[in-house]
Amino acid sequence: MSSADEIKAPPTLRDKLRKLGLTRSTDLVLHLPIRYEDETALTSIATALDGVPLQVEAEVLVVRVSDASGELVLRFLNFYGSQTRQLERARDEAKRLRLFGEIRHGFLGAEMVHPRYRVVAEHEALPQSLTPVYPTTAGVSQAALRKLIVPALAADDLAELLDARWCAQHDLPAYADAVHLLHAPPPGVAENELQLRTHPAWRRIKFDEVLAQQLSLRRSYLARRQKGAPLLKSTGQLARQLLAKLHFALTGAQQRVCAEISHDLDQPYPMQRLLQGDVGSGKTIVAALAACQAIEAGYQAAFMAPTEILAEQHYLKLRTWLEPLGIEVAWLSGSLKKSVRRAMTLQAASTAQLVVGTHVLIQDSVDFARLGLVIVDEQHRFGVAQRLELRKKGGNPHQLMMSATPIPRTLAMSYYADLDVSVLDELPPGRTPIRTKLISDQRRNEVISRVRTTVASGRQVYWVCPLIEESEKLQLQTAIDTHIALCEELGDLRIGLVHGRLRGDEKIATMAAFAAGEIDVLVATTVIEVGVDVANASLMVIEHAERFGLSQLHQLRGRVGRGAHDSVCVLLYQKPLSETARARLKIIFENTDGFEIARQDLHLRGPGEFVGSRQSGVPLLRYADLEVDTDLIELARGMAEYLLREAPDRASQHLKRWLGSREELLKA
């Protein structure tokens, strides 16, 4: 950053500004008001409405002020000596005050608490435009911000980077006009359009912001495409053999996605594809077919899952599918004994054709002989660090990321613009819909008897213990207590327990026993949240469901309804419910489609939560709203492609304007 760009302010103020993300003069230009106050008009005390922000001008009568129409009591919680003297002087000199605030009619008549006020000269004109109110932090006053922003607006380069005709066509004003208008709205501007951020000036700013996000993500996408990747050409022979052995046929969606992936693998640059599919949509077989293509082309495939339980389950499934075709499948996990692990690592480095495991797969000690394809299951569970590590793995393997946390379309289009996205939007046939029941924990007894009848009919049950965010230890204790309690209540049933603190092999043994039908009721923490697939389980009980997030509830519920049996998910909740907990439970009760649930979740929580693990890598949107500004996202996508192709210099200038030095951080 050139020092000319830097904000000129004393060091202490500069530190505080940095907290607001303001280091350059351009950052000040783009630090836009959260709202406006209307100081262009005066209201008389007598006609002032309660609770509406307004401005009066009045004479000082000690703690009272009066205008021609009436009196107003001022209340200050901390009244400084200097303030008293200032007000007394104003009174003695018969000067008037302009006060901005909300009036309430209380016991003492009309009063204003903590008004913003200032002494005015006689006949001082009212301001012509709305007063901007900026987001700020402790120790940086509105006045200080305004004093910095006005010169920044004058000095900063506000050059237009987009084609003026194109902007006019889309009703977007010029950049310079937009920022000037938003910092100092002229008289007569449609105030509610400003407040609601639907004014064309706001739309221009939001467009520019989304454009910066698209440019940054598309640019790193294109950069990764510059790298060569193994060509995974195949005749499809191996995949066909696998398909012939399955006891089901692919759904239309699976066939379409398989074709997309197969096409990508055939390209000389690495695939960067996100496969989204709701819980149970059949992502695993799609991944296995992709692996077949890599293997037939003479390369290795790696299949990584976020938990031991899931990785092991994939290992078993993939072995039964692929070993009969003569494919060597290896297993690698952190809980293997050292000697076994060393042997497996050697195998990965040499003969293994498919290696399944947890994130140990991407650790430095594991060297693949000729890695062609990396498959990441439940990718949202991996952190940024692991994603980076994966990118660093040699040979630029193709990447297939899979996720069962459906990302709403607008979110996928914006925050995931650096990936190609495939969607499995069809569930395999023959699934019976899961019935969801909301039951207060006062009726726990009824649930216990439902567990009995379920087991009596030969089915199995998951019992999920409450999530305790603050303490893993407490959560563990609750799981143990619940297990003891259920053993007492259901003494004649076989009850297992699985939680995060068990050793890897213990977890796996318990899950295997449950899968084999040797356990009737599995008491579990959220370790079973993702991927676990036991078709005979038909009842899921979730205790304290009000503590779980929506996507978690959806994932957990997806553990049942995997076979042809009638399945039920019981959400036990404890009263009283908070407003948001009630909203969440209502959504999960009324919806089974993961995309619809995700859309409503986005509405409830905003995008921050969805992109949590991507946060450090992706510029979050400050101004644009994914729900409201969908059309702008579409427009910006097209513009980003165009600029990167036709005017890369302007693309860079735009990125610099919006992201400044932060852009370096976004390469991840």
Q: Closest Cα to residue 36, out of 127, 153, 150?
A: 127
Q: Please state the closest distance from residue 609 (CB atom) to ligand ADP, in A.
A: 21
Look at residue 270 and give the partner it binds from ligand ADP, Mg ion, none, a contact being a CB closer than 5 to 8 Å depending on partner kind.
Answer: none
Helix or strand run (H / E) with residue 628:
none
Q: Which stretch binds Mg ion (CB under 5 A): 52-60, 148-156, 509-517, 525-533?
A: 525-533
Cα 23 → chain centroid: 26
Q: Which does 567 bind (CB under 5 to 8 A by kind): Mg ion, ligand ADP, none?
A: none
Q: Minimum CB separation from ligand ADP for residue 245, in Å?
A: 12
In the complex with ligand ADP, the residue whose CB is nearer, 213 or 399, is 399
- Provide the minimum distance between the beta carbon of 329 and Mg ion in the complex, in angstroms, as a whole number: 17
For Mg ion, which is the closer residue by CB, 333 or 555? 555
**Alpha carbons 339 and 321: distance in angstroms, whole number:** 27
Which residue, 101 or 531, has its beta carbon nearer to Mg ion? 531
CA dihedral 21→22→26→32, nearest 10 degrees, is: 80
- For ligand ADP, the closer of residues 447 and 524 by Cβ is 524
Question: What is the smallest separation between the CB atom of 199 and Mg ion, expressed in angstroms?
Answer: 45
User: 414, 210 in Cβ contact below 8 A?
Assistant: yes
Query: What beta strand segments (E) does 67-168 contain?
Result: 71-75, 96-106, 109-113, 116-120, 131-133
Q: Of Mg ion, ligand ADP, none, which one does residue 277 interact with (CB within 5 to 8 Å by kind)? A: ligand ADP
- In the bound state with Mg ion, the residue whose beta carbon lies nearer, of 375 and 624, is 375
Provide, rounded to whole angstroms, the least separation between the CB of residue 293 and ligand ADP.
18
Q: Position 130: which residue type?
A: L
Q: Choose the contact partner of 617 out of ligand ADP, Mg ion, none; CB within 5 to 8 A by kind.
A: none
Which x/- pattern over 72-101 shows residues binding Mg ion (rule: CB under 5 A)?
------------------------------
> Which C-beta is closer to Mg ion: that of 167 or that of 524?
524
| Shortest CB 254 distance to ligand ADP, Å | 6
Contacts with Mg ion: how many residues (CB under 5 A)?
1
Q: Does 594 bind Mg ion (CB under 5 A)?
A: no
**Rounded to the nearest whole angstrom, what is the least distance from the CB of residue 449 to ligand ADP in the complex?**
29
Q: Report the C-alpha gap between 455 and 458 in whole angstroms.
A: 5
Say whether residue 277 binds Mg ion (CB under 5 A).
Answer: no
Is residue 458 exposed (0-12), middle (13-18) or buried (19+ Cβ within 10 Å)? exposed
* Burial zone of 278 (CB within 10 Å; 0-12 exposed, 13-18 middle, 19+ buried): buried
b/e code 544-556 from CB counts within 10 Å (16+ = b): bbbbbebbbbbbb
Closest to Mg ion by CB, 306 or 531 = 531
Give the residue at shortest CB distance from Mg ion: 531
Tokens of 82: 């200097």
CB 390 within 8 A of CB 374: yes
Q: State the residues that interact with ligand ADP by CB under 6 A.
A: 248, 250-251, 254, 277, 279-285, 404, 428, 531, 533, 562
- With CB atoms as reference, the residue minimizing the distance to ligand ADP is 282
- Residue 128's contacts (CB-CB under 8 Å, 6 or more residues apart) are 40, 186, 187
CB closer to Mg ion out of 466 and 531? 531
Q: How far apart are CA 533 and CA 285, in angstroms?
A: 13
Q: Which helix (H) or strand (E) holds 414?
A: helix 409-415
Q: Residue 301 Cβ, how far from ligand ADP at the closest point, in Å?
A: 16
CB of 204 vs Mg ion, minimal distance in Å: 43
Identity of the residue, 199 or 283, whose beta carbon is nearer to ligand ADP in the bound complex:
283
Q: Which two tokens stand for residue 648?
A: 């890369």
Interstrand relation of 300-304 and 272-277 (parallel, antiparallel or unpaired): unpaired
Tokens 């640019």 locate to 219
What CA–CA distance (Å, rounded) separates 303 from 522? Answer: 27
Quick one: 37 or 533, whose CB is closer to ligand ADP? 533
Tell the smallest beta-carbon distance from residue 460 to ligand ADP (Å): 15
**Dihedral sign, CA of 612, 470, 597, 378?**
positive
Q: How far apart are CA 196 and CA 189, in angstroms?
A: 13
Among 270, 466, 531, 594, binds Mg ion (CB under 5 A): 531
Q: Which positions touch Mg ion (CB under 5 A)?
A: 531
